[in-house]
Chains A and B, each alone.
Chain A
């Protein structure tokens, strides 16, 4: 085994993640989630998440050490998500990482959560092909990125102009009285439904929208369309075919996600597509992306599901790329930046 030993810390949303990575190899990855505490509210409650991070912090670091047999003193550098995310949640991880950096006298890298999602796949499939187009789909974000260098050159081609894709799954799940987080439940319900049963709208795909928003997404109109469709059935006194609604909604989301990603590859003459983020767990998204990439001669990379949701491994993986390229560490007074732009891979 070779390469620097990196400790990664993640606390931007509702998962406290700590992991050890050496080079591009994942050695151990521990995640504590507060998702169950948010379920009854139908979404992440920031204060609940922050409290849970603080409680989980030391036990999670300890377990990561135990699982890998590494001591904290062994690490060559510490990487932490410094943004974007929930400010109060980020501050817990950032404070801990700074304490580690100073106590152990090891460099600190504040990294971008979105770039880290894209970078997770180096742990499964090795260094990213560069340049690559990356589609990031999670509970809080939906972005199409042009990645020329994951450590230093990430450009946003487009993003959602309203809800994130995962957020749309969560909201539609509530409409259909499925539990939170909605993605897995919609997917399960969709398995028995017909994805072609209802033609829900594909946001920002009309010709006039394509001029200004070619690589942008919009999911709030889709959500409204689902609400209206369901209400109409009810007014008419008809039963709501939940499976068909779920399948048709799921199809609408993944259709537009993949279509624009392929378009971005073609437009920029790039034959590699990387997908990441929690919604990547969706099997229909994986299947349709595979099908369309194959047809377009694009090679697709998708990490295993565990690496798609929030975790410390992806943060350590990105930290490792920064260290391997000899980039300077962040300063010890780096802030938790809740709206860190995706073009800023590393905090100064």
Chain B
């Protein structure tokens, strides 16, 4: 088996290749504005380093956010197209779950929060619980809120993601895991699949309606 894991839901573009036992290669580039430029070249580089070819893949896992929409779509569009071209299944993973996975792997045993940058003075967030064999999102679908408006008890938890770096006054001690790393995303996806739990459809978790402002609007002048 060979899993390609990618995520573009944060300011990082991150790619990993996992053979079912271990990560064969991984690369993360923090380049918020150039996701569309660098994702496929990064995949190519990681695969070349791992000595594998596109046709070797058996599955793709992609972070489906939440995250800034434009960058997020780059990863999702790439994953669904690769799935089609290589005729392999593609799975969606909540990007916050991937960050939570790396928090658990660092030895966290208590509940914690993941809060990432949602722009507009808001964060995407979810609460997690570490188990012996996995990390579980216990707050349902991620939320999108102003940090100061989150309940006190949530904000007091240890927090991963860029949220606590952007809003230090609203959160407690930040954990070191800021962006998604695809190795953790791969391990999370494989763990869930092995346990027979379902992953997400490969569609962005938008959580917000589009801003409906057309580029140019002209009003009617006819009287009514």
Contacts and interface: CB of A to CB of B under 8 A. Distances in A.
Contacts of B213: 41, 45
B212 A92 contact: no
B70 interface: yes
Smallest CB-CB A-B distances: 10 pairs: A43-B214, A47-B210, A171-B218, A99-B81, A98-B40, A103-B85, A95-B77, A96-B81, A91-B36, A174-B218
Contact of B40 (A41, A95, A240): A95
A94 B77 CA distance: 9
Contact of B218 (A42, A55, A72, A101): A42
Given A41-B214, A43-B216, A95 B85 contact: no
25 contacts: A41-B214, A42-B214, A43-B215, A43-B217, A44-B214, A46-B215, A47-B211, A50-B70, A51-B206, A61-B81, A88-B69, A88-B73, A91-B36, A91-B77, A95-B73, A95-B74, A99-B82, A99-B85, A100-B85, A102-B40, A104-B85, A174-B219, A176-B222, A332-B44, A333-B37
A47 B72 CA distance: 13
Interface in B166-224: 203-204, 206, 210-223
A178 to B, nearest CB: 9
Interface of A: 38, 41-48, 50-51, 54-55, 57-58, 61-62, 72, 87-88, 91-92, 94-96, 98-105, 163, 167, 170-172, 174-177, 223, 227, 230-231, 234, 240, 332-336
B84 interface: yes
Nearest to A168: B218
Give the secondary structure class of B's interface: helix
Given A61-B84, A230-B221, 19 more contacts: A41-B213, A47-B211, A54-B77, A54-B203, A58-B84, A72-B84, A72-B85, A87-B70, A91-B70, A91-B74, A95-B77, A99-B81, A102-B54, A163-B216, A174-B219, A175-B221, A234-B223, A240-B222, A335-B34
A198 to B, nearest CB: 15
A230 B69 CA distance: 41
B80 interface: yes
A95 B39 contact: yes
Contact of B69 (A47, A227, A336): A47
